[in-house]
Amino acid sequence: MSPDTGQDIRICPWKYGKRWVYSITYDEALADLHRFAVPLHEEFAIPGHVELLVGQMGEIRETGNSSYNGMRHMNAQELRDLLARGWGVGNHSWSHQVITPEMVEEEIGRAKQVLEEAIGEPIIFYCSPGDNTNMADHVLAACRSYGYLGAMSLTDALNRPEDELFWINRTALHEQYYAPFFSAYDPFRNIRQAQAVQGWLIDYCHCPLETAIHPNKDCTQAQLRQRFETVLAEGGDDVWCAVPEEALSYHLMRRTARIETVGGADGERCYKIGLTGLPEQVPDRTLSFEMTVPAAWCRDPRVDVDGQVLVAELVRPGVLRVTCAVTDGTVIRVGQR
C-alpha cells in the first residue's frame, strides 16, 4: 500500500482490532437469570442483554400459553443492577402479542418510554416477540420513527460488518430445534462462520436452569457454561465479547465515518474524520484505526488525536493500531517522536 495515497489508514471491522464479536440475549428478562446465568457471566466477564416484556415489568408472567408463565419478570431495580454489571436492556414489546399497525404506538413507542423512565437509560433495541411476524414492515418503520437503532429477529444467522441493523440475526442457543429440523445442542454453532466473515454472533435463549424449561426455547446452565468456554477457547484474543449497545455503536460509527487526508507537518500524516449522518442516539463513539507507516516510525511512533497523544500498538511490521473516541471533525496525526 502506497504511503502517499491516503489509503494508509483504515477503520478496523471491530473495536480493538478484534476479528469477530460475541453477544448473548435473554428474552423476557426473568428474575431467575440470577440463579445461573448472571453468576456465569460474572465468572467469564462476558456482558449479557435482557429483552423485557415491558407491560409485565416486575410482575409474574402471564401471556398466552407461554412456557414461562408463573415466573417473574425483573423489576426496574433488578434491571438497573444488570446495567451496573455492564449488561444492556431492550424492549421485547408491551404485550407479546402480534403487533398490528394500530398497536405500534403502545408496543414500540410507549414501551420504550416506560422502560427508559424505569431504568434511566435510552433504549435503542427492539426485540421481536413470538416470531418474525413481529418484524413486519410497519413494526420496523415504527422502530425507526421512535428512535431505535436496531431490531432483533429470530433468524439463525450472523450479522456482518456491512449489514443494516433493522434485521439483526440471532443464534438460538437451545437444547434442540423445532420439528421438522430436530437438532442436538452444539456449543460451536456459528463460531467458525463468525471467524471466517468477521461476523457478530448474538446468542438467544430465555432462562437457563438445571434443565431447560422447554428444549426448543432454552439451554441448560451446563450448556450455557459450555458455550462460554467454547467461545473463549475458539475466540482467544480475536473475539470481542460485547454488550449489543457497544457493538451496534461501533458498527454505526464504522459505517458512517469518512476519512479525509489533510496536510500535516513534514514527517507526519494527518487525517480528519467526518461523522455526518451519525444518529444522535449512538451511545459509544469510539473507533479503532490501523495505519500503515514507514518502518522507522514503528520504533517510537507518535499518534496524536485531537491534541492528545496516544500509545499506538504495533500490530505487525509497518502497521500501527489505536482505539480512540471520535467526534465529527476529529484530527489524527501520525509520525515519530
H or E stretch including 117? helix 111-119
Site for Zn ion in 129-168 (CB under 5 A): 129
List 12, 15, 27, 292, residue binding Zn ion (CB under 5 A): 27
Ramachandran quadrant class, 166 (left: phi over 0; alpha: psi -120 to 50; beta: rest): alpha
**Sequence-separated (6 or more) residues with CB below 8 Å from residue 130:** 96, 97, 98
Q: Would you give the binding string for Zn ion spanning residues 113-132, x where CB under 5 A is met?
A: ----------------x---
Minimum gap (Å) between residue 197 Cβ and Zn ion: 28
Minimum gap (Å) between residue 97 Cβ and Zn ion: 11
Comparison of 100 and 327: residue with beta carbon closer to Zn ion: 100
Q: By CB under 5 A, how many residues form the interface with Zn ion?
A: 2
Comparison of 23 and 198: residue with beta carbon closer to Zn ion: 23
Pick from 91, 75, 143: nearest CA to 279: 143
Minimum gap (Å) between residue 121 Cβ and Zn ion: 21
Comparison of 50 and 293: residue with beta carbon closer to Zn ion: 50
Report how far residue 201's alpha carbon sits from residue 194's, in angstroms, rounded to the nearest whole number. Answer: 7
Which amino acid makes up residue 300? D
DSSP string, 5-17: SS-SEEE-SSGGG
Minimum gap (Å) between residue 53 Cβ and Zn ion: 7
Ramachandran quadrant class, 304 (left: phi over 0; alpha: psi -120 to 50; beta: rest): beta
Per CB under 5 A, which region of 5-13, 25-33, 81-89, 215-223 contacts Zn ion?
25-33
Q: Is 107 in the site for Zn ion (CB under 5 A)?
A: no
Per CB under 5 A, which region of 26-34, 184-192, 247-255, 296-304 contacts Zn ion?
26-34
Minimum gap (Å) between residue 126 Cβ and Zn ion: 12
Alpha helix stretches (DSSP H) within 236-292: 244-256
Give the residues lining the site for Zn ion (CB under 5 A): 27, 129
